[in-house]
Amino acid sequence: SLASTAITCFTRGLDLKKETEDVLCPANCPLWQFYVFGDGIYASLSSICGAAIHRGVITSAGGAVRVQTLPGQENYPAVNANGIQSQVLARWASSFSVTRTKNPTLESVGRSVSTARPSTGKRPKKPLDKKAGNKDCKADIAFLIDGSYNIGQRRFNLQKNFVGKVAVMLGIGTEGPHVGVVQASEHPKIEFYLKNFTAAKEVLFAIKELGFRGGNSNTGKALKHTAQKFFSLENGARKGIPKIVVVFLDGWPSDDIEEAGIVAREFGVNVFIVSVAKPTTEELGMVQDIGFVDKAVCRNNGFFSYQMPTWFGTTKYVKPLVQKLCSHEQMLCSKTCYNSVNVGFLIDGSSSVGDSNFRLVLEFVSNVAKAFEISDIGSKIAAVQFTYDQRTEFGFTDYTTKEKVLSAIRNIRYMSGGTATGDAISFTTRNVFGPVKDGPNKNFLVVLTDGQSYDDVRGPAAAAQKAGITVFSVGVAWAPLDDLKDMASEPRESHTFFTREFTGLEQMVPDIIRGICKDFLDSKQ
């Protein structure tokens, strides 16, 4: 019978050369390290010994396994078996199955494959860091590759090689950069997500397996799709890590890319454009929008655009691109008005408001708060209710999830009493914004009142603005316009709102959110 080949815990199906091969798995492989995709039929990316334990062919004591190469398939399922959780994989080009070998001739094992490692139970120090990757490069990156007829099959393959080199040099790992690939052609196709692979080797294989799609280069459509769909938490995006799309463009886009650039910025995605073979003078007539690069990139400051004359000899372009992608502090688009603001609400609880209108006020506050990405590292919300007196309902650091904030707003009890708006602004500036004034977020205060204040509002509002707080004033019913304007930040027209009826508050919600976003962006330019 065939002699068994000794393999390591890490040897994968795709590392074997023969259709059928008898292998010998070492003892004591650490189960948590296995990458296994599928159940019974495993993607060839899987560890052979991991699959064999998962299948019950051997235990962690190791032993002989027969590996049979099989065609690729779609939708490898995730199943937990024998201490190993296999993972889902949408599709892979080849598979394998594992069975017990009939009568392994164990004498002949041992030295046959150089990858055999002595299994001491202790892992050698080195691979640990390799698994973690380059911790100094914090980035979640989508490579948006050109799969259009513009580029053609041959240059498509050169593009894959270049992307592969960039991926390797980035230092992908569990604590380093994570990458995925989207192919742009007629319709965008997400080839793999951030969560699918956390080792450079796996990413390289996945890139090699990509097939050329062909079609128009609808880069705008693909960029918009990527900004909206690719970076969700369930697809592996990590909180607080910059989201980056690197758009590769051979020639020029067939569609409009400006709107996609706006969407990307709104979603906090940093867009880079790598253009290869810029349109020649004769071709410029066919380009919808000559300034397409400037309109799509995160900021038109030269940092986010990158040019290569051709797809040949691109090795020297790898390192400078990687250095850009790892410049954490240059990712100007990561902070958005949705994830980088503190919004405080100052709510009039005076007796003229009344119970049922007070509910409408709270509904307005909820609807504005709901628009923001509230988390410990994101946006934060606070609320103060005032009459002659002030009561902090909750501060910026009390609740760090949207659910908890909304439930706290619902539970605010109506105080009823007089109206001292000026005092309330001073109180809020000191007690609510004071503790966060040196934090990273931009500060906003929305003052809601239905009447004349008994005290001066101008002084306290000016002090709040001096402390870096942008003030929006929202008046209902009897609130005098002069007071509202005196409280509002400049330009006053766009920071002052008024409605006769409490029911009119609802229509103002989008305007307030838009106002906060506009101020946020203006402060960043």
Specify the pTM: 0.59
> Which amino acid is it at 481?
L
Question: What integer best gives the mean pLDDT of the chain?
Answer: 88
**What would the 3-class secondary structure string for 350-401 be?**
CCCCCHHHHHHHHHHHHHHHCCCCECCCCEEEEEEEECCCEEEEECCCCCCC
Asked if 327 and 356 count as a contact pair (C-beta separation under 8 A), the reply is: no
β partners of residue 122: 120
**440 pLDDT band (50/70/90 cuts)?**
confident
Asked whether the domain spanning 140-330 has the same topology as the one spanning 5-100, the reply is no
Residue 112's pLDDT is what?
Answer: 36
DSSP state of 137: -
Residue 1 reports pLDDT greater than 70: no
d(CA 345, CA 372): 14
143-165: average pLDDT: 94
**145 pLDDT band (50/70/90 cuts)?**
very high
**34 pLDDT band (50/70/90 cuts)?**
confident
**106 pLDDT band (50/70/90 cuts)?**
very low
Q: Which runs of consecutive H residues, i.e. helices, occur in 56-179?
A: 126-132, 152-170
Residue 464: what are its φ and ψ, rounded to 5°? -60, -45
End-to-end CA distance of the chain: 73
**198 pLDDT band (50/70/90 cuts)?**
confident
**300 pLDDT band (50/70/90 cuts)?**
confident
Residue found under tokens 């509202």: 484
Q: Which residues of 149-159 are buried (b: 16+ CB within 10 A; e: fewer)?
A: bbbeeebbebb
Residue 310 buriedness (CB in 10 A; 0-12 / 13-18 / 19+): exposed
Query: Which of 12-26, 160-174, 339-353 bottoms out in mean pLDDT, i.e. has the lowest?
Result: 12-26
Residue 118's pLDDT is what?
Answer: 40
Residue 84's pLDDT is what?
Answer: 85
Instruction: Take residue 240 and report the two structure tokens written for it.
Output: 């607080």
Give the side-chain half-sphere CA count within 13 A for 453: 28
Class of domain 5-100: mainly beta
**382 pLDDT band (50/70/90 cuts)?**
very high
Residue 35's pLDDT is what?
Answer: 80
Residue 151 reports pLDDT greater than 60: yes
Residue found under tokens 């190469």: 69
CATH 3.40.47.10 holds for 140-330: no
Residue 48 reports pLDDT greater than 60: yes
Tell the CATH superfamily of the 341-523 domain: von Willebrand factor, type A domain (3.40.50.410)
List C-alpha distances in Å: 440 to 343, 376, 378, 380, 396.
Answer: 13, 12, 10, 11, 13
> What contacts 329, CB < 8 A, 6 or more positions away?
none
Region of 440 please: left (phi>0), alpha (psi -120 to 50) or beta. alpha
Query: Which of 111-125, 349-363, 490-504 bottoms out in mean pLDDT, i.e. has the lowest?
Result: 111-125
Percent of the chain with pLDDT over 90: 60
**pLDDT tens digit string along 328-352?**
878 888 888 888 999 999 999 999 9
Please give the full DSSP string across 238-297, using - where no structure is assigned.
-TTS-EEEEEEEES--SS--HHHHHHHHHTTEEEEEEEESPPPTTGGGG-S-TTHHHHHS
Residue 33's pLDDT is what?
Answer: 61
Asked if 170 and 176 count as a contact pair (C-beta separation under 8 A), the reply is: yes
Residue 162's pLDDT is what?
Answer: 96
Asked if 360 and 502 count as a contact pair (C-beta separation under 8 A), the reply is: yes
Domain coordinates of the chain in residue numbers?
5-100, 140-330, 341-523
